[in-house]
Amino acid sequence: MKILHGFDSPADYRGGYVSIGNFDGVHRGHQSMAAALIRRARAAGAPAVALTFDPHPIRILRPAQAPPALTTTDRKLELLAECGIDATIVYPTDRALLDLTPREFFETVVQGELAAAGLVEGPNFFFGHNRAGNVQTLEEFCRSAAISLEIVPPVQVGNQLVSSTEVRGLLAAGRVAQAAELLGHNYRLRGVVVYGAARGRTIGFPTANLAQVETVVPRDGVYAARALYNGQWFAAAMNVGSNPTFADQQRKIEVHCIDFTGDLYGHTLDVELLEHLRDTTPFADIGALQEQLRCDINRARALANALPAG
């Protein structure tokens, strides 16, 4: 997939089929939209193009109300590439873009810059200043411009409608396995390993302390996970929260990479969450904590090892 920053390579996208959106999480709804986009583009012999925005417009318009993201921009691009998109344009969001009326956005971006042959969107698509344009507005504009439009129906998993908001709610409740069902992939954190109190090392379970995590952090607790470092996956157990056994109330993200030896300080670590194992609990003594950690690690190893490689 080609990654473009702004409209600087028209040969890669003009005349293509386009989906416009934030694609936060690249969940099953986004994947359904991408599949429809690719199907139409392939039938027409045209590129399948995604247009997304960085930062999310709400971070400029109402930063205090902006929810934490489900994916970093880099991870979003990885997931869109896995969908089979030919080119993704990451447009640097600015006030000039956000001040465009729906008509101006359509004429300037869809017709002028993209010269789109067709659009594929979800039913909750809004565009233009104050989100004044919706799918009905878009249908009118596309019809008058002879641009094809497909509105992809929402995706439901069981009795739950797939959306970024629903995924955030599941993560806030610690239900990472259920979040993965809506996402269509395991939820992933990315952070930089920093120095901590080194308590884990002293009791036989060294942990990597993650900082600079830009996305949603799930509810406090212990999770089965797997960690990606230097192209290799390691089974892992992750604790989010404090360390009540040591009377440490600071909230941290600590990852024990099972069967890993080496120095992770200063390195970036990707951590996929597999299952919530238990809540954070104070233990009577270090021995009881160590016994519980051995149980956590055995369960985490079994869950991680059951996944396909890669």
Q: How far apart are CA 121 and CA 32, in angstroms?
A: 10
**Mean pLDDT, range 121-131, rounded to an integer:** 95
Question: How far apart are the C-alpha atoms of 286 and 10, rounded to whole Å?
Answer: 62
Which residue stretches of the chain are H helix?
A: 28-44, 57-61, 73-83, 95-98, 102-105, 135-145, 164-172, 176-183, 199-202, 286-305
Cβ(84)–Cβ(38) below 8 Å: yes
Among 131, 142, 135, 143, residue whose Cα is nearest residue 62: 131
When mean pLDDT is compared across 56-65, 80-89, 222-231, the lowest value belongs to 56-65
SS3 209: strand
Q: What pLDDT score does 226 carry?
A: 97
pLDDT tens per residue, range 209-261: 999 999 999 999 999 999 999 999 999 999 998 775 555 667 889 999 999 98
Between β-strands 232-243 and 248-257, what pairing exists: parallel, antiparallel or unpaired? antiparallel
Burial 59-73 (b: 16+ CB within 10 A, else e): beeeeeeeeebbbbb
pLDDT band at 281 (very low <50, low <70, confident <90, very high): confident
- Looking up tokens 């473009």 gives 4
pLDDT, greater one: 284 or 40: 40
Could you report the per-residue pLDDT of 156-195, keeping only the tens digit for each?
A: 999 999 999 999 999 999 999 999 999 999 999 999 999 8
Overall average pLDDT of the 115-131 stretch: 96
The residue with tokens 């199907």 is: 39
Q: Which domains does the chain have, with CATH numbers?
A: 2-155 (3.40.50.620), 186-305 (2.40.30.30)
Give the Cβ contact number of residue 31 at 10 Å.
Answer: 21
Percent of the chain exceeding pLDDT 70 equals: 95
Tens-place pLDDT, residues 67-81 = 899 999 999 999 999
pLDDT at 153: 96
Structure tokens at 286: 């270090």
Residue range 107-134: average pLDDT? Answer: 96
Report the pLDDT value the prediction gives residue 248, as an integer from 0 to 100. Answer: 63
Euclidean distance between CA atoms 244 and 284, whole angstroms: 10
More confident site: 87 or 263? 87
What is the C-alpha separation between 1 and 46, in angstroms, rounded? 14
Q: What is the pLDDT of residue 246?
A: 54
Q: Give yes or no for a contact between 285 and 216, defined as CB atoms under 8 angstroms apart.
A: no
Q: Could you report the per-residue pLDDT of 88-103, keeping only the tens digit for each? A: 999 999 999 999 999 9
Query: Minimum mean pLDDT among 45-54, 109-118, 240-249: which range?
Result: 240-249
- Our measurement of the distance from residue 139's CA atom to the centroid of its chain's CA atoms, rounded to an integer in Å, reads 29
